[in-house]
Chains A and B, each alone.
Chain A
Amino acid sequence: MKPILLQGHERSITQIKYNREGDLLFSVAKDTVANVWYSVNGERLGTYNGHTGAVWCVDCDWDTKNVLTGSADNSCRLWDCETGKQLALLNTNSAVRTCGFDFSGNIIMFSTDKQMGYQCFLNFFDLRDPQQMEDNNPYLSVPCSECKITSAVWGPLGEFVIAGHENGEINQFSAKSGEILKKAKEHTRQINDIQSSVDLTMVITASKDNTSKLFDSNSLDHIKTFRTDRPVNSAAISPIMDHVVMGGGQEAMDVTTTSTRIGKFEARFFHAAYEEEFGRVKGHFGPINCVAFHPDGKSYSSGGEDGYVRIHYFDPQYFDFELEA
């Protein structure tokens, strides 16, 4: 497959996300820029300007009306998707690591880092109440004293947030009360990314312990494990096939000690039921930081440390491929 190369960032990509219908792809990077592109041909629509620090996360609501970004400049901003206008600015005490709209698009959550004496908090705002935004007063703010949150996604019906922590734990935080509804400790090192399946019934976690695991969203039951020999930075579940894709890379300090050939960072495809790797896609010049499937499952994208986003449309053979069973 011939990938479409998106060159719009000057520094490493931190997150990419498709909107619900998949025609738009959002990318954010350490260069303070948030871009939006047409996923069909790679044409850039526009940029959301305003952040003054590395942008760590991005999300788009189900109707593609609003865009949410979180940044190391200690702010979380709400934008109008079509015009690029900044609609709200929420200041925080430390960098915003992860953010997202719930199923209805009415409630936003974001987590802040444990930095400079400030704890890690998981904040919830209701967009239907403009007062909250004006006063920068979340209706619920959950402190995380033990271990900071490194990645989080909403549950299927907006009742809870599934958060991954620095120590490998996964917790379900209620969006109403803030209490922990369920826990799971399967990973041994930091969770780098959590993504949901398109129907939100499952989540896949990517961890520094070289594995990626599939969990049920509601029960947090551990379903599958996918093993590699490199830290996994991001993982995504295919909407139409029993496949998952994982992207990762070497620890920065080890990069110089491996052959450049071996260091060519590859996205790895695993069969979701058999837990077996069946394919790899080369092309990035650095570790892959984020992967995402197009909602129709016919393509996927990856954003790397090299600042490039690559959109890959699958060949017909991909859909026919089957492991002997």
Chain B
Amino acid sequence: MQDTLAMVDDPEYEEEEPSFSDPEDFEDDIEDEELLEDILREKPQEADGIDSVVVVDNVPQVGPERLEKLKNVIHKIFSKFGKITTEFYPEADGMTKGYIFLEYAAPTQAVEAVKNADGYKLDKQHTFRVNLFTDFDKYMNISDEWEAPEKQPFKDFGNMRHWIEDSDCRDQYSVIYEAGERTAIFSNDAKDPILAEERARWTETYVRWSPKGTYLATFHQRGIALWGGEKFKQIQRFSHQGVSLIDFSPCERYVVTFSPLMDTKEDPQAIIIWDILTGQKKRGFHCESSAHWPIFKWSHDGKFFARMTTDTLSIYETPSMGLLDKKSLKINGIKDFSWSPGDNIIAFWVPEDKDIPARVTLMQLPSRQEIRVRNLFNVVDCKLHWQRNGDYLCVKVDRTPKGTQGVVTNFEIFRMREKQVPVDVVEMKESIIAFAWEPNGSKFAVLHGESPRINASFYHVKNNGKIELIKMFDKQQANSIFWSPQGQFMVLAGLRSMNGALAFVDTSDCTMMNIAEHYMASDVEWDPTGRYVVTSVSWWSHKVDNAYWLWTFQGRLLQKNNKDRFCQLLWRPRPPTLLSSDQIKMIKKDLKKYSKIFEQKDRLSQSKASKELVDKRRAMMEEYRQYREAAQQLYHEQKSLRLELRGGVDTDELDSNVDDWEEETIEFFINEEIIPLGDL
């Protein structure tokens, strides 16, 4: 900088400044569009005006004296959607014609107006019909020739429920190993897993099963893919760049995908809801963070899904994907909500607000009726735990009672099946580590206390209004509870930092069936029938000894399956049973008859397996013997060479040279005895 300034001031600087103007005949070849793209975007275009115009029909026909009032009313209603720049009330014979034109500042506002004001009931005789001006053109220009849409060829994926028809009722599970490079599907057999399918790089991160087990979803950079049927063909593909999380609707009609990458103001793309069978994108939503996935929670029948944003609960209905009653619920301070797994009821809680205590509310959908409200005092935090059938709701309330510093925990148990939903309270004296309902029963298990004195308590919610503590086991090494999906049995596990301690419990009489250990286990997964448990050490949490072990529900170890860099095992869910409850009763009655047949079948397959093993061993031994014979033959042929190398000494057998042996006596230390000699 210094130099150039000096140069300019320097009287001796006489060099002419270079000319910066274009040569005479220069024609620039840069298009305006390229150079001024951003400015040109805002150039007013002729078409613009039309896109922002809406036509409102069924407007009251009024004379000039009421025109002003009408305009005010219209203005009030329609300026909600944007800035009205022009309005036109065509007249005939001194009265308004009954339809008007409104122009907004931007086409998006016009679209909003159509969306929200169409169907607006002004009064008994007048319900507005609102349309985009451009729509008229579109509909007028529809050709008279109707072309039938092309028939899509029927993609037959085969029997999507093929795996359920396995004659030995084997459940399937997916295994990801080799650090994600290979994914395999196995059929579970007590002896050894049977490989059903295995592919390299099937997924880029992990996999998910759909809730009824029909589809396997795999993740890729460009979106997700769904696979199913007997051969796991690709059923559907959904393009969502950078997808990281997904969720299925319980009915398996829809899948929700989330990607932190794609989002623009005009076109929300962070969360997309897809129709699985058609592959169509149904709706997109914004999303700030995926901290509490799934952001959208589905009702059990898939009819509704809802999400919570600041002070708002938005409930949408399917298949329209629109807001229920076209508006969200304003609930100040709403902290958390969840659907009942059995009915269309939402439970949510709001914390204390000045002098209004905190409360938990149960709301029925779609009526929005509050069927139960429960006030809670001095609340620090709440967690909602539904029993799997929706029979009970447990609200874990952490409170700081007045005058104390510490936090105590209560369980507020809502009995959903009883009139007016009575609530019972269970007070817990220690801090809670884990809580879990028995899936289809009325018991729950709690892990409480501080390491190393962790206790496991089992409670029964009885019909007579009492909640009874059945049993407490103390000094447990556990930090997680895993109930069997059929209830009654469960595993208390000390995962990760507790080194994989396992306790198998039968809660019908609260006995410990077995105590075992799977060192450094990171996950426990029950199969959908509740017969088997898999404990696994995932490579994602521990780099050595990656394997999954198969146990019976009673805690008997059946298999240890080591897999190089094993990552994840997921059981394939089963669809709900097609049997009626009467049919199930019949089967339970005749169980003895069935168990005889099954036992015979098991015995046959066992002996078949051992026969297979025995045959295999025989073959291997035969092969080995043959090899050894040939080698021995060669060895004998070489005997003379060996004698030569060792100067005539035959060393082929240990005792071939007895003459050369020396005898040596060796002492063995047997016993030491100290004998006092007494005074000499």
A residues apposed to B, CB below 8 Å: 20-22, 38, 40-41, 43, 62-63, 103-105, 156-158, 199, 201-202, 216, 218, 223-224, 229, 242, 250, 254, 257-259, 261-262, 272-275, 295-296, 323-325
Contacts and interface: CB of A to CB of B under 8 A. Distances in A.
Interface of B: 499, 519-520, 542-545, 562, 610, 613-614, 617-618, 620-621, 623-625, 627, 631-632, 634-635, 638, 641-642, 645-646, 649, 651-652, 654, 666-669
Contacts of B625: 273
A273 B624 contact: yes
Contacts of B520: 257-259
A229 B631 contact: no
B545 A274 contact: no
A41 B617 contact: no
B679 to A, nearest CB: 37
Contact of B617 (A104, A156, A250, A324): A324
Contact of A259 (B499, B562, B642, B645): B499
Contacts, number: 84
A62 B646 contact: yes
Nearest to B546: A229
Given A38-B666, A223-B627, A199 B651 contact: no
Contact of B544 (A20, A38, A218, A254): A254
B651 A62 contact: yes
A38 to B, nearest CB: 6
A126 B542 CA distance: 53
Contacts of A323: 617
A174 B542 CA distance: 46
A158 B651 CA distance: 15
A218 B634 contact: yes
Nearest to A228: B562
A218 B637 CA distance: 14
Contacts of B620: 273-275
A104 B647 CA distance: 8
B621 A216 contact: no
Contacts of A272: 624
Given A223-B627, A323-B617, A257 B544 contact: yes
A20 B666 contact: no
Contacts of A261: 519
A242 B623 CA distance: 13
Given A229-B562, A257-B542, A325-B618, A41 B632 contact: no
Contacts of A258: 519-520, 544-545
A40 B170 CA distance: 56
B177 to A, nearest CB: 14
Contacts of B667: 41, 43
A199 B541 CA distance: 48
B654 A295 contact: yes
A257 B651 CA distance: 49
The 8 A-B residue pairs whose C-beta atoms are closest, nearest first, are A104-B645, A273-B624, A325-B617, A201-B631, A273-B621, A259-B519, A274-B617, A103-B645
A158 B614 CA distance: 40
28 contacts: A21-B654, A38-B666, A40-B666, A41-B668, A62-B646, A63-B646, A63-B649, A157-B641, A199-B632, A199-B652, A202-B631, A223-B624, A224-B624, A229-B562, A257-B520, A257-B543, A257-B544, A258-B519, A258-B544, A258-B545, A259-B520, A262-B519, A272-B624, A273-B620, A273-B621, A274-B621, A296-B654, A324-B610
Contacts of B635: 156, 199, 201
A257 B497 CA distance: 11
Contacts of B654: 21-22, 295-296
Given A21-B654, A229-B562, A259-B499, A103 B545 contact: no
Contacts of B634: 201, 218
Contacts of B649: 63
